[in-house]
Amino acid sequence: MTPGSADVAAWLAELHARAYGDRPWSAEEFADLLASPGALLVTRPAAFLLARRSFDEAEILTLATDPAVRRSGNARACLDEFHERARTDGAVDAFLEVAEDNAPARALYAAAGYTEAGRRRRYYPRPGAPAADALVLSRTL
């Protein structure tokens, strides 16, 4: 895949919508992110990770897996490749935000060595429920 192509942005938006139906990102949003300096995209047939590197840090913006193939190793493979590529590009640390109520994602990140570095109160809106806190997780690469 060529990261800057419209087809890639459309595929990312489609997969993101399946993974995050409550607030999927648009193809235009993905195209803008892919065109930004330091963008790093890792893909698998049914998963992707989009990150950006700035100086010695790499931030995971989103990690999406097709719900039909969750828990099959795709997300972990994306994470592992991201860690290697970010380190090769000069990043020393990686960080991300994850909803406190997203237990499967939190378990994945914990297994990959991420620990809690902070919290953003009431960050993720929840229809008909209180907003969930975002946990800021980080790890050394």
In a domain, 17, yes or no: no
In a domain, 49, yes or no: yes
DSSP at 137: E
Strands 129-140 and 115-126: antiparallel
In a domain, 93, yes or no: yes
**Number of domains present in the structure of the chain:** 1
The H or E element that residue 97 is part of is: strand 93-99
CA-to-CA distance for 9 and 21, rounded, in angstroms?
17
In a domain, 100, yes or no: yes
Range of the domain at 122: 38-140
CATH number at residue 106: 3.40.630.30
Please state the rounded mean pLDDT for residues 111-118: 98
In a domain, 13, yes or no: no
> Residue 6 — very low, low, confident or very high, per pLDDT cuts 50/70/90?
confident
Please state the rounded mean pLDDT for residues 63-80: 95
In a domain, 2, yes or no: no
| pLDDT tens digits along 121-131 | 999 988 899 99
Measure the CA dihedral 109/23/43/81, to 10°.
-20
**Mean pLDDT over each residue of the chain, to the nearest integer:** 95
In a domain, 12, yes or no: no
DSSP 3-state of 4: coil
> Residue 3 — very low, low, confident or very high, per pLDDT cuts 50/70/90?
low
Between 39 and 4, the more confident residue is 39
In a domain, 16, yes or no: no
Closest alpha carbon to 120 in 95, 105, 99: 99
CA-to-CA distance for 20 and 80, rounded, in angstroms?
22
